[in-house]
């Protein structure tokens, strides 16, 4: 959903009077609810019958399907108006995963989303991602430092508050900090716990762990074992928008192939992206067209078994999990400190 935001901006730029509606699942509402270009959000429930009547009554002129799965096709078939469908690369991805045949286009999915709009004479400009945080979900980072017991760092250890005010509105209350978003939809997208511990131990700067409730136990163990007195976990304590606001104010983001990678890109945060079984060539890497120097990719390219899936698994199919166990922790740490110093 975050990756679709350039489409909304492109439509609004080309057709300023257009009324844009957005259709998504109920559980994803929080991600898009504050977007100012959306006139109305329609939420899919299990049956979708009542919703279909509502959508048909809208009499849309254009229907843009960027998901292009069975459910979105069902809605599309039953609605009037001109229809435009995103072309998925299922065959190309299958060939890359199953046969090692690489015919994937070197084009980001955002650009391919925008190409879907070409019949509407909308330019395929490299528009950035956008993310809008509701006022009630904005987070006071100064209070986070206090709750983590790190509120006295401004005057010690050389942790200053340098950086533009618009990136850190609590500049006078808290030093600069990094975020490590430890989550990932599948285990093969996440560093193993021992690698997380090694990375967090090597980073001797304020570092906040972010993730969902499912990540809380892992994060607590990492904090307990890692030798970093400036490490603190907020996993399971924030909703998606609150976590996004913490990322917005961070100096550096460490992340796996996850939604937080895209949220960080929406705020142009310097990002260290750690790739496991998936690959950037699938076209869903951190999209920062205006600041490509912000993104550093870490992946084990020489593995013949990678990618083993276009999505992920609960465990490495080969058992060795070299794509994550062999990650260059020291190099990631060095890049983190470099970006913290230059941010």
Domains in the chain (CATH in brackets) are 2-120 (3.40.50.2000), 138-342 (3.40.50.2000)
Between 169 and 230, where is the model more confident? 230
| Mean pLDDT on 75-80 | 91
Tokens of 10: 């492109």
Which range, of 147-151, 282-286, 335-339, averages the lowest pLDDT? 147-151
User: Which pTM does this prediction carry?
Assistant: 0.91
What whole-number distance in Å separates Cα of residue 202 and Cα of residue 122? 47
> Above 90 in pLDDT, residue 101?
yes
Q: Indicate the pLDDT class of residue 259, thresholds 50, 70 and 90.
A: very high
| Mean pLDDT on 201-217 | 96
Which range, of 166-175, 192-201, 283-292, averages the lowest pLDDT? 166-175
pLDDT recorded at residue 149: 87
pLDDT recorded at residue 10: 97
| Mean pLDDT on 306-310 | 95
What whole-number distance in Å separates Cα of residue 276 and Cα of residue 257? 8
Contacts of 275 (CB under 8 A, 6+ apart): 256, 257, 297, 298, 299, 323
Q: Indicate the pLDDT class of residue 41, thresholds 50, 70 and 90.
A: very high
Phi, psi of 178 (to 5 degrees): -110, 160
Tokens of 223: 């904090």
pLDDT recorded at residue 165: 39
Q: Determine the distance from the C-alpha atom of residue 321 to the mean position of all C-alpha atoms in its chain, rounded to a whole number.
A: 23
- Strand, helix or coil for residue 339: helix
């Amino acid at each position: 959903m975050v990756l679709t935001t350039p489409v909304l901006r492109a439509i609004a730029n080309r057709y300023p009077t257009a009324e844009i509606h957005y259709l998504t699942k109920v559980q994803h509402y929080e991600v898009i609810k504050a977007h100012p270009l959306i006139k109305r959000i329609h939420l899919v429930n299990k049956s979708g019958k009542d919703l279909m009547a509502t959508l048909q009554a809208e009499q849309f002129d254009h229907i843009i399907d960027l998901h292009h799965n069975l459910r979105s096709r069902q809605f599309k078939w039953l609605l009037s108006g001109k229809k435009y469908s995103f072309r998925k690369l299922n065959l190309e991805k299958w060939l890359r995963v199953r046969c090692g045949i690489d015919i994937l286009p070197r084009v980001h999915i955002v650009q391919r989303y925008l190409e879907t709009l070409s019949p509407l004479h909308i330019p395929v400009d490299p528009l950035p991602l956008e993310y809008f945080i509701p006022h009630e979900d904005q987070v006071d980072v100064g209070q986070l430092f206090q709750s983590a017991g790190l509120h006295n760092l401004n005057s010690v250890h050389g942790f200053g508050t340098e950086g533009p005010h618009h990136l850190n509105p609590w500049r006078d209350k808290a030093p600069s900090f990094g975020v490590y978003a430890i989550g990932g939809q599948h285990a093969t997208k996440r560093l193993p716990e021992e690698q997380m511990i090694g990375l967090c131990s090597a980073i001797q700067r304020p570092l906040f762990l972010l993730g969902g409730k499912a990540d809380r136990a892992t994060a607590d163990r990492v904090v307990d074992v890692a030798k970093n007195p400036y490490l603190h976990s907020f996993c399971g304590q924030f909703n998606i928008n609150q976590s996004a606001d913490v990322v917005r104010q961070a100096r550096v983001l460490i992340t796996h192939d996850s939604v937080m990678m895209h949220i960080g890109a929406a705020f142009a945060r310097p990002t260290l992206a750690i790739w496991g079984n998936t690959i950037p060539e699938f076209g869903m890497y951190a999209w920062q067209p205006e600041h490509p120097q912000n993104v550093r990719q870490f992946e084990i390219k020489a593995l013949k078994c990678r990618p083993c899936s276009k999505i992920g698994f609960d465990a490495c199919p080969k058992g060795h999990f070299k794509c994550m166990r062999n990650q260059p922790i020291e190099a990631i740490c060095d890049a983190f400190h470099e970006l913290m110093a230059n941010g």
